[in-house]
Amino acid sequence: MTSNYPPNDDGPNLNKPDGANPPPPPPGGYPPQEGNYPPPQGSYPPPQGGYPPPPGGYPPPGQGPGGFPPPPPSYGDPSQQGFGGQPGYGGQPATVSVGDALGYGWARFKGNAGVWIGMCLIAVVVSGVINAAFSWDRYTNSDDLTVAASFSILSIIGSLVSVIVSIIFQAAFTRGALSETDGVKPGFGDFFRFKSLAPVFAVAILVGLINAVAFILCFLPVLITGYLLWYSLTFVIDRDLDPIAAIKASFKLTTDNVGQLLPLALVCVLLNIGGAILCLIGLLVTIPVTLLAGVYAYRVLTGGPVAPVAA
């Protein structure tokens, strides 16, 4: 009897010619003969690297490529992402204690004490020579108006030269402290290696004008502006920021970390006052130590490199 239903594709078709029907699968059903059965349902072969990522996205929230936390935001120039911001690596806030900062400054000073003391002496000698060269008219009596006018002009020139030299040495000490935190013991020539002095003078003049205005208003405001603008020059030298951006970055750093930086600033001021009381000789130690401590705190709180000190 002939069936009226269409042939079943899964079984043999008796109406097909001989040899057109595939042979039955071997007992057990595995493995199938090549070309007879489709591959198993799903992804074949399995994706490289194992199973698909778990639900919720990859990488986990708050992490960057490779599973590491992304760098925190930077102060000043947004492109300077390598230095970080107030939060420490992994999202933990960076912390600085007065003891740690001063201990680091003292350790770095001891390791290069001869150069630091020598730089302080050079600054004192150069400043003294300039003052002597342009101030000798104070001890000269003359009724000649022309001579008196000449002496006044020399005094103005002497003051300008003194300010310029003071800014250069301030930048030089900052450059040396940054080198120390980089793990490099600077020589005398290394203190004066700047990419450009133009932004250094610009930020120094702006900070000086702000402090001068604050001093005219009252003594207390100049203490506040002095603290807020503490790291303006440091940002210019370390990050190549323009003067305005450096002032803003210093303001942000000092206001975000008042609880850590203000006590350090007060202790540094007291140490330098004590060094000045000791016939100014103590300043040969306190100035480098406090400067190194301040730069150490700056590097820690901005996520910058801090070279370890020898035990």
pLDDT at 310 (0 to 100): 73
pLDDT at 179 (0 to 100): 96
pLDDT at 146 (0 to 100): 65
Of 48-57, 197-206, 245-254, 297-306, minimum mean pLDDT range: 48-57
pLDDT tens for each residue of 249-290: 999 999 999 999 999 999 999 999 999 998 778 999 999 999
Tokens in use for 231? 């790291």
Question: Average per-residue pLDDT in the chain?
Answer: 77
| pLDDT of 17 over the 70 cut | no
Q: How confident is the model at residue 238 (pLDDT cuts 50, 70, 90)?
A: very high
* 207 vs 24, more confident: 207
pLDDT at 280 (0 to 100): 79
pLDDT at 220 (0 to 100): 82
Total Cβ atoms within 10 A of residue 169: 19
Tokens in use for 251? 């303001």
Task: Note whether 155 and 183 are within 8 A (CB).
Answer: no
Task: Note whether 248 and 229 are within 8 A (CB).
Answer: no
**Residue 267 Rama label (left phi>0; alpha psi -120 to 50; beta):** alpha
* 28 vs 220, more confident: 220
pLDDT tens for each residue of 157-206: 888 999 999 999 999 999 999 999 999 999 999 999 998 899 999 999 99
Question: CA-to-CA distance for 117 and 217, rounded, in angstroms?
Answer: 36
199-233 as b/e: b if 16+ CB within 10 A: bbbbbbebbeebbeebeeeeeeebbebbbbbbbbb
| pLDDT of 90 over the 80 cut | no
Sequence ranges of the domains in the chain: 95-301
User: Which of 139, 236, 119, 124 shows the shortest CA–CA distance to 189?
Assistant: 119
Q: How confident is the model at residue 63 (pLDDT cuts 50, 70, 90)?
A: very low
* 124 vs 65, more confident: 124
| pLDDT of 76 over the 80 cut | no
Q: How confident is the model at residue 144 (pLDDT cuts 50, 70, 90)?
A: low
Q: How confident is the model at residue 61 (pLDDT cuts 50, 70, 90)?
A: very low
SS3 content of the chain, % helix, strand, coil (to 5): 60, 0, 40
pLDDT at 27 (0 to 100): 52
* Count of residues in the chain: 311
| pLDDT of 107 over the 70 cut | yes
pLDDT at 141 (0 to 100): 53
pLDDT at 288 (0 to 100): 97
pLDDT at 12 (0 to 100): 47
| pLDDT of 37 over the 70 cut | no
